[in-house]
Amino acid sequence: MAKISARYVCQECGASTARWAGKCDSCGAWNSIVEEAQREATPKGLGAAKGRRIELVALEGASAPPPRFQVGIAELDRVCGGGLVPASALLVGGDPGIGKSTVLLQAVAALAQSGRSCVYISGEEAIEQVRLRALRLGLASAPVQLAAATSLRDIAATLDVGEPPAVVVIDSIQTMYLDSLDSAPGTVAQVRACAAEMIRLAKRRGFTLFLVGHVTKEGQIAGPRVLEHMVDTVLYFEGERGHQFRILRATKNRFGPTDEIGVFEMTDAGLVGVANPSALFLAERRGNVAGACVFAGIEGTRPVLMEIQALVAPSALGTPRRAVVGWDSGRLSMLLAVLDARAGLALGANDVYLNVAGGLRVSEPAADLAVAAALVSSAMDVPVPADMAVFGEIGLSGEVRAVGQTEARLKEAAKLGFARALVPKIGRAARPSAEPGIAVRSIGHVQDIAALFRRGSEA
Ligand code: TYD
Ligand code: MG
């Protein structure tokens, strides 16, 4: 029988193929496929040896919720689902320079100061560099155990003796290597093997493991996505360069909710948690500008208000430009088509720019109505009332659909001084109860948006 050995592995998504190709069929990345040495021979099936019978049990049984311990950094604890779980593995991904090393150094320092033993292993920076950063952050006195190492065999040997630490940080997993593999550090095979070894050690010794993974554009280094299925929790750092906000988002969590976010601000003293993100995202807002609309969104368990900005301008090009920051460009195309077909607002000859102010990335469909309002407002050059918060999903026939957590959104808007809210019109039974201090106005179809502003501006 011919042996099928997949030796070409995409460094972006980890898919393996039998032959090299310029483009990965699974994730569409270009130039990401490299040849990798095979680790193990092809499996030979079960053979003659008998396995041991495993015991099958009922779903219901005595079990306790995972014991957790707090880091003491409120935003980080929130994203992790209320604290760290012993013997679990977390992956912290993000672009280089976004603040992964900074937040993890702050976390281990805080934990060490509260009496837990913490190990920070840097494969990228020399001990001096880490010490310098700790000094800058004012954390130099924290009893963190520090090492600069890249050999996984040495690291595992070190962590395997004596009292196990509570938390171990590996910064970053892409610099680690296992000498039993032929491939270079950073390749999918190395990254996976090193992560698997570390995770096994964490489960056996009972420590919480943080793995740092860089998101890479080129595909020379395996991205953190190839590890997502191996770890318990996946956290991604988001944020635009040039903005001081950093969003830590949980995209997978076996011990807590996903889509929870932690909001940080990068300052001279490292990353500082932001307790009231809405106020921060709206801080630079200027009232009464056409094309700006405040969206009352939900991020994880928390309502967050943010400004959506649209600019509709006549295009000088044959194919008008569509540029989006912080939102899905496919969703924008859909909304433009709906506005054209259902509300008679043809923007086909216009350039359209859309921006979520503050560097936040919105994935909620509830933002549709706010985006539509911003687009209509910019096209008509009539401002959305500055004291109005908007939310609602838009369907293909132009109907405005109900979204979840109306109460929480209205409450947050009222708290920040908004006097009006534009919400989806829904059945009488499920009418949102009026929140004190906020006038709720409902809308059933996108064709009513324009009329609303005309009346709004006259009032
Ligand atoms: P870093 O944590 O090294 O990023 P990563 O590990 O994700 O690659 O963050 C580096 C950036 O953070 C760098 O551009 C400088 C900035 N920074 C501050 O602004 N203030 C600080 O106190 C620190 C430590 C870093
Ligand atoms: Mg770093």
Q: CA distances (Å), 134 to each of 110, 182, 270, in order?
A: 12, 36, 10
Kindly tell me the burial class for residue 28, based on how many C-beta atoms sit within 10 Å of its own C-beta (0-12, 13-18, 19 or more): exposed
The predicted pLDDT at position 158 comes to 94
Section 253-260 average pLDDT: 85
Question: Which has the minimum average pLDDT: 160-169, 175-184, 234-243?
Answer: 234-243
Confidence of residue 41 (pLDDT cuts 50, 70, 90): low
Q: CA distances (Å), 21 to each of 5, 7, 89, in order?
A: 16, 12, 33
Confidence of residue 222 (pLDDT cuts 50, 70, 90): low
The predicted pLDDT at position 286 comes to 81
End-to-end CA distance of the chain: 81
- Examine the pLDDT at 207 and tell me if it is beyond 90: yes
The predicted pLDDT at position 332 comes to 95
| Backbone phi, psi, residue 138, to 5° | 75, 30
- Residue 427 token pair: 């059945």
The predicted pLDDT at position 429 comes to 44
User: Of residues 206 and 238, which shows the higher confidence score?
Assistant: 206
Confidence of residue 36 (pLDDT cuts 50, 70, 90): confident
User: What is the whole-number distance in angstroms between the Cα of residue 305 and the centre of ligand 1?
Assistant: 27
Section 194-200 average pLDDT: 95
DSSP structure class, residue 369: H
Residue in this structure with the two tokens 């805080």, named with its chain if needed: 110
User: What is the whole-number distance in angstroms between the Cα of residue 214 and the centre of ligand 1?
Assistant: 14
User: What is the whole-number distance in angstroms between the Cα of residue 130 and the centre of ligand 2?
Assistant: 10
**Ligand 1 neighbourhood includes 208 CB (under 6 angstroms):** no
Confidence of residue 340 (pLDDT cuts 50, 70, 90): very high
User: What is the whole-number distance in angstroms between the Cα of residue 132 and the centre of ligand 1?
Assistant: 12
**77 within 8 A of 38, measured Cβ to Cβ:** no
**Ligand 1 neighbourhood includes 242 CB (under 6 angstroms):** no
Compute the distance between CA of residue 411 and CA of residue 103 in angstroms, rounded to an integer. Answer: 31
The predicted pLDDT at position 214 comes to 87
Radius of gyration of the CA atoms of the chain, in A = 26
**Ligand 1 neighbourhood includes 266 CB (under 6 angstroms):** yes
Section 197-218 average pLDDT: 90
Question: pLDDT tens, 409-430?
Answer: 998 898 888 999 999 987 544 5
One-letter amino acid of 359: G
Compute the distance between CA of residue 113 and CA of residue 434 in angstroms, rounded to an integer. Answer: 47
The predicted pLDDT at position 428 comes to 47
The predicted pLDDT at position 458 comes to 44
Query: Strand 292-299 relative to strand 388-390: parallel, antiparallel, unpaired?
Result: parallel
Of the chain, the percentage scoring pLDDT greater than 70 comes to 92
Helices of type H across 271-367 = 277-281, 329-343
Confidence of residue 327 (pLDDT cuts 50, 70, 90): very high
**Ligand 1 neighbourhood includes 102 CB (under 6 angstroms):** yes
The predicted pLDDT at position 24 comes to 87
Residue nearest to atom 5 of ligand 1 (CA): 97
Residue in this structure with the two tokens 């979204």, named with its chain if needed: 403
The predicted pLDDT at position 240 comes to 72
- Examine the pLDDT at 261 and tell me if it is beyond 90: no
**Ligand having the closest approach to the CA of 102:** 1
The predicted pLDDT at position 288 comes to 79
Phi-psi region of 392 (alpha: psi -120 to 50; beta: other; left: phi over 0): left
Compute the distance between CA of residue 248 and CA of residue 228 in angstroms, rounded to an integer. Answer: 16
Compute the distance between CA of residue 338 and CA of residue 397 in angstroms, rounded to an integer. Answer: 7
**276 within 8 A of 262, measured Cβ to Cβ:** no
**Ligand 1 neighbourhood includes 106 CB (under 6 angstroms):** no
Identify the CA nearest to 178 among candidates 123, 234, 101: 123
- Examine the pLDDT at 459 and tell me if it is beyond 70: no
- Examine the pLDDT at 432 and tell me if it is beyond 70: no
User: What is the whole-number distance in angstroms between the Cα of residue 268 and the centre of ligand 1?
Assistant: 9
User: What is the whole-number distance in angstroms between the Cα of residue 170 and the centre of ligand 2?
Assistant: 10
Section 174-181 average pLDDT: 92
- Examine the pLDDT at 42 and tell me if it is beyond 70: no
Element (H, E) at 101: helix 100-113
Question: pLDDT tens, 60-109?
Answer: 877 777 789 999 999 999 999 889 999 999 999 988 888 999 999 999 99
Query: What b/e string do you get for 169-205 counting C-beta neighbours within 10 Å, with b at 16 or more?
Result: bbbbbbbbbbeebebebbbbbbbbbbbebbbebbeeb
The predicted pLDDT at position 43 comes to 59
**258 within 8 A of 268, measured Cβ to Cβ:** no
| Backbone phi, psi, residue 96, to 5° | -60, 140
Contacts (Cβ under 8 Å, ≥6 apart) of 215: 93, 94, 95, 223, 224, 236
Section 431-451 average pLDDT: 80
User: Of residues 426 and 388, which shows the higher confidence score?
Assistant: 388
User: What is the whole-number distance in angstroms between the Cα of residue 279 and the centre of ligand 2?
Assistant: 29
Which of 95, 102, 214, 237 to mutate for ligand 1's pocket (most ligand atoms within 8 Å of CB)?
A: 102
Confidence of residue 377 (pLDDT cuts 50, 70, 90): very high
- Residue 46 token pair: 């079960």
Section 300-321 average pLDDT: 90
The dihedral of CA 358, 359, 365, 371: what is its sign?
A: positive
Q: CA distances (Å), 112 to each of 106, 168, 314, 315, in order?
A: 10, 11, 58, 58
**Ligand 1 neighbourhood includes 174 CB (under 6 angstroms):** no
**Ligand 1 neighbourhood includes 99 CB (under 6 angstroms):** yes
- Cα torsion 144, 147, 148, 152 to 10°: value is -120
Compute the distance between CA of residue 341 and CA of residue 348 in angstroms, rounded to an integer. Answer: 11
**Ligand 1 neighbourhood includes 138 CB (under 6 angstroms):** no
**Ligand 1 neighbourhood includes 133 CB (under 6 angstroms):** yes
The predicted pLDDT at position 217 comes to 65
The predicted pLDDT at position 2 comes to 46
Contacts (Cβ under 8 Å, ≥6 apart) of 50: none
For residue 146, count other CB atoms closer than 10 A to its CB.
Answer: 16
Confidence of residue 313 (pLDDT cuts 50, 70, 90): very high
The predicted pLDDT at position 1 comes to 47
Question: pLDDT tens, 131-170?
Answer: 999 999 999 999 999 999 999 999 999 999 999 999 999 9
The predicted pLDDT at position 69 comes to 93
Mean pLDDT of the chain: 87
**Ligand 1 neighbourhood includes 246 CB (under 6 angstroms):** no
Question: pLDDT tens, 354-363?
Answer: 999 877 889 8
Question: Which has the minimum average pLDDT: 55-59, 83-87, 347-351, 454-458?
Answer: 454-458
Identify the CA nearest to 199 among candidates 68, 92, 118, 89: 89
- Examine the pLDDT at 382 and tell me if it is beyond 70: yes
- Examine the pLDDT at 18 and tell me if it is beyond 50: yes
